[in-house]
Amino acid sequence: MSTPTRTPRKKLTKHAGPRHDHLKRHGPVKVHTQIDYVTVNAEDVIVYVDSQGKPVSTTTVHRNQPPPTSPPAPPPSPSPAPNPLPQPQPQPQPQPQPQPQPQPQPAPAPAPAPAPAPGPDKPSTGGPVSSGPGFKSGVSYTPYNADNSCKSRQQVATDFTKISGYDVVRLYGTDCDQVSNALAATKGSNVKFFLGIFDIAQVQKEAETISNAVKGDWSRVNAVSVGNEMVNKGTDPGTVIGAIGQARGALKGHGYNGPIVMVDTMVAMTNHPEICKASDFCAINCHAFFDGKTPAEKSGEFIKGWVDKIGKATGKTVVVTETGWPTRGDTNGVAVPSQQNHQAAMKSIQGAFSNNVIFYSAYNDMWKKNGQGTFNAEQYWGIMGNAPSA
């Protein structure tokens, strides 16, 4: 409830001439009251009213006799509509018909309240809400051939014939027409996309590319990320946060009102929670394999520990945007790449999480370069091995 505002009392200004101020009285004051009764003969006027109590005509009656000497009857108690008893019929002259009073029509029924404007997480198209966190399963996909060339629309369509059973597919950027190709490949399905603006120096351009691809139908978009592991690679957190704000403005201008986040490693997000707080939810890449102290069958427990820690520190929902286990590569402590351990890790993660996890990745990324820094396993994280379009 709001508190009334007290208006300050104005200071009186002195004027020359008469004063009307209420001055303080000095001494007692005597009051004399004199009442004069006057009797006057007046004409009677009868007022005719309609059923609503509104006057419609009047009649004047001349009185010749003096009024009775007995005290007048007390006035009738007020009633909603003073109807004469019985209500007189119009005399000789036809009583003017009351103008068709604008029948107390119910005040123009207020036009149905307009539907509420879309909120921070409702696309303006009126389609399903971009859901953000809450999806049951997800997987990542990249549209590149082994020689780093772009896959054609037909190749992307071929790859998606085997990507099934996932609610969300994560794309990292907008090059190679990947957004429009992936949308076309999944047309008619319930798959949503976790899209990405990869180059934070090209936010406006990539936002426009995404907008052109969705053609105003944002119902297929689960969320949009800005950059991938930028702080982990050395970018200043303030620069990334600025890019998130820029992306939010650019995408809103194209009609998107769903979640926008910055994705980084669990360590970078822990050290810089401000990135998470600037996002609509926390998005982390978390791989137990790189820990070196966690075996495949403990992957779920390892990842959940980080999710709980970051969620508690930021007060936000945490979505794991990358996790998995390589099938080939070099051993990292107790973490051993193999098909068997890949399956053990997947089972462990699925046992620890019922939602909000995107597995990395649908197919082996043969376009990447292996190196000692990634234990020569960079190419071999594919859940379904090599892509059918390879």
Taking 70 as the threshold, does the pLDDT of residue 25 lie above it? Answer: no
Task: Write out pLDDT tens, residues 60-90.
Answer: 544 444 444 444 444 444 334 334 334 434 4
Active site residue: 43, 229, 322, 378, which one?
A: 322
Q: How far apart are CA 275 and CA 283, in angstroms?
A: 10
pLDDT of residue 321: 98
43 labelled catalytic: no
**Lowest-confidence segment of 116-125, 285-294, 345-354 by average pLDDT:** 116-125
- pLDDT at position 84: 39
Token pair listed for 266? 């669990």
Locate 202 and state its tokens: 């090209």
- What is the sign, positive or negative, of the torsion defined by CA atoms of 341, 342, 347, 352? positive
Q: Average pLDDT of 7-35?
A: 38
Mean pLDDT, range 41-68, rounded to an integer:
51
Q: What is the mean pLDDT of the chain?
A: 79
First to last CA, the chain: 66
pLDDT digits (tens, 9 = 90+) for 241-284: 999 999 999 999 999 999 999 999 999 999 999 999 999 999 99
* E strand or H helix at 46: strand 44-49
pLDDT at 31 over 50: no
Burial 267-297 (b: 16+ CB within 10 A, else e): ebbbebbebbebbbbbbbbbbbbbbeebbbe
Distances (CA, A) of 21 to 11, 24, 46, 50: 12, 9, 46, 49
Question: Which of these, 245, 270, 248, lies nearest to 257 by C-alpha position?
Answer: 248
Question: What's the pLDDT score for residue 43?
Answer: 52
Q: pLDDT confidence of 375, banded at 50, 70, 90?
A: very high
What per-residue confidence (pLDDT) applies to 116? 33
Question: What pLDDT, on a 0 to 100 scale, did the predictor assign at position 39?
Answer: 46
Above 60 in pLDDT, residue 127? no
The CA distance from 266 to 309, in Å, is 10
What's the gap between Cα 332 and its chain centre?
Answer: 44
User: Does residue 106 surpass a pLDDT of 60?
Assistant: no
More confident residue, 61 or 216: 216
Q: To the nearest whole percent, how much of the chain has pLDDT over 70?
A: 67
